[in-house]
Structure 1
Amino acid sequence: MHDPDFSQRFLFDDTDVRGEMVALNDSYQHVLAKHAYPEPVALLLGELMAAAALLVGTLKFDGLLVLQARSSGAVPLLMVECSSEREIRGIARFHADQIEPDVGLRELMPEGVLAMTVDPREGQRYQGIVALEGADLAECLSVYFANSEQLPTRFWLKADTRRARGFMLQALPADRLKDPEARTNSWQHLTTLADTLTTEELLGLDNETLLHRLYHEETVRVFEPNALRFECSCSRERSAKALISLGEEDLRRLIEEQGGQVSIDCQFCNQHYVFDAADLAQLFAGGGSQAPSDTRH
């Protein structure tokens, strides 16, 4: 039996196309539980989480993938991070008074841009940017790959506040099909069939049933699933490093101004890290970030 959150790769044996499916249940609920998101915002955030989980499966790297959408509208920020270990977290910023029911990407994020950043632990950081001009996030991502020098890739993304699902097809370098026209026809055939997917099918069907319904006339090889989970990368140690970067004098002044302690709050998971003058002395004496008393969190 699958984990409640997983991605699963599949491959068409007779042509040069691969695919990926992702299901997010627990991790999506973890993200939604941290903030009171209006439903339209929650749906967008679920779709972006599914997209990040799909993309991590296409990349061979050790590090972090970040999808960040910004706009001048009711949702100024959507952000999802997914590590190569498939640890995922996400957040949205929104203006509740500007959000109406049943609105989508174009209404919520006008003049928007989507940045995809690959941040490996070793090697060079890469970022690509696309305008949010499509009808939905899936179309925007598909356009990004169509306009880049990367392999043609199509996305189908859906969420319903309980679960988020993603489906992706990606063309591979010529191997089984060398003829350009045959490759084009094959790609169009497979993506046209995927375009028939309904929201109910993508959200409700298990992977085996979904693939059979779409591609029962094709030879499809399905690989073992990879588990995904919600995991926030914040920590007291990282918070301490951020404080140290302010400098001892400025940090001491800040603690005094804040009534004897300063708190760093993680926007992703709502964890609070509290530091006082004793912590400050310990940090700059090289004593580490662990609280010297039993009153810290």
Structure 2
Amino acid sequence: MKIGTRGSRLALWQAHFVQAELRKHGIESELEIIKTQGDRVQHLGFDKLEGKGFFTKEIEDALLAGQIDCAVHSLKDLPTNQPDGLVLAALSYRASVEDVILVHQDRVVKGKPFSLADGATVGTSSNRRKAILHDLHPGLLPVDIRGNVPTRMKKALSGELDAVVLAAAGLERLELDLSGLLVIKPSPREFVPAPGQGVMAIQTREEDIEMRKKLSLLHHPVVGECTNVERTVLNLMQGGCSMPLGVYCEKDQLGNYHVWASYAASATAPLVRVQVSRSTRAGLPEEVVEQLLSVQV
């Protein structure tokens, strides 16, 4: 089995994880590293890149061409509409969903939101993160940063920036040394993550039934249910990676679904927050969207 993946440390960690899970079922595989637009163009923010799927398109093209048998992606990087001929065969366990704010230890100001002074520089290229930061601490100065997880972390560690915002999942999976940094982990119900954050998606060709059967052995159904709600909200909002939209869905022990969502028209526009709970997923994403769009700010 040939597995397509990006070449970053985190992408390779994810691909090796899937390889190990497949091996538990007696399935051997090899990796094929594919460079995407998002890897090649490092000087532009996400909102300046053309189209959607700039971390996935080249890998999906290789899948459609039969050069690889399946692909491992971060679910939050995948556009909500699959290209014709491709399907998601499995979703992984969900790592910590939170965003983490890493603050240089010499820039910590106690008593301020996120322990950061007015005028502090915070590295992130995500409009969603910028909008939430602006809502919770309007005095911060977001700075666009690109690069892999260790590169972005070092911008706070070196003092080039006062802080950076990164996904907890990537930091955990790479087991990065965060000593020298104050680690702030806000609740995902307040600092609402990207739809699908913390989940790996395994994609294959729709027609390849045998491959789909093999990959389905790795699927986590509850993760599938919750992320489907999150990604349906994103789809209904007609958004991509650059939309300032956060959606997080939990399923409790009684089988009820709880959704937290935040949305802003731009990175500096007022932030709308909603929370919706229901006993069924039917109509749940639609209700979240209706509430997000009905609030006048």
TM-score range, shorter chain: under 0.3
Please, what TM-score do these two structures have when normalized by structure 2?
0.22
Larger Rg over CA atoms? 1
- Higher-strand-fraction structure: 1
